[in-house]
Amino acid sequence: MQPSPMMTPASPSQTIALAQNRVLRNTYALLALSMIPTVLGAWVGVQMNFSFFAGSPVIGFVAFLAIAFGFMFAIEKTKNSAMGVVVLLGFTFFMGLILSRLVGGVLGLKNGATLIGLAGGGTAIIFAVMASLASTIKCDLSGMGKALFIGMILLLVAAFANIFLQLPALMIAISVIAIGIFSAFLLYDLNRVITGGETNYISATLAVYLSLYNIFSNLLALLGIFGGDRD
């Protein structure tokens, strides 16, 4: 008697594919959930006129990095438990607070709400394109990781330097390059999930969230500079 197809054990490749799809689904679900505290944090920040960098931009920049990396360290430490989700959502609320200064400034423009919508739409398009490419490109893109990390460090150095230089052209260049680098990070991180390089959905969500956050904030900054209606 032949076994029923439903009774046939899954092959190792099928088991791996199912696990990878589960990580991807959980990543997208948690990513969607993480947008709620981000929006809430931005709303609270706008209402409170919150500014992390008002007193001293240098101290604010260093403090922001210390708190952000502290959150990321805690997320990695707790990523195998439900607490990892809680810490991640706390981090996204904090990032919403940081974003509120930019959002508040753009909302002060005549067409501010439209610009925020355009930045959100642009971010969604970039995400859709990178997700599609990540699922199409089956080869391992792990070689990109080192170059992207170096690019990110150079961006941070340039952003810190511009606190003192205050060069509008450099600020624009940083935003343009940041959109390119974090779009590539999206492709890299989603490809890692699809190819099995990342098996923890909390870590994957953190990586994808950071890319989307940076793409959105830099798109919004550029739209505010070039498309803002100040009349």
Measured CA to CA in angstroms, residue 96 lies from 43, 76, 146 at distances of 8, 20, 28
Mean predicted confidence (pLDDT) in 83-96: 98
**pLDDT above 80 for 59:** yes
What is the structure's pLDDT at 227? Answer: 86
pLDDT of residue 140: 75
- Average pLDDT on 112-136 reads 95
Higher pLDDT, 17 or 56: 56
Is there a contact between 54 and 60 (Cβ–Cβ < 8 Å)?
A: yes
**Running DSSP on this structure, what letter comes out for residue 196?**
T
Encoding tokens for residue 220? 């919004």
Q: Which amino acid would we find at residue 67?
A: I
Domain ranges of the chain: 12-227
According to the model, what pLDDT value does residue 194 have? 87
**pLDDT (average), residues 181-194:** 94
**According to the model, what pLDDT value does residue 1 have?**
46
pLDDT, position 143: 83
How large a percentage of the chain has pLDDT more than 70? 92
Contact between 79 and 200 (Cβ < 8 Å): yes
Predicted pLDDT at 142: 79
Average pLDDT across the chain, whole number: 90
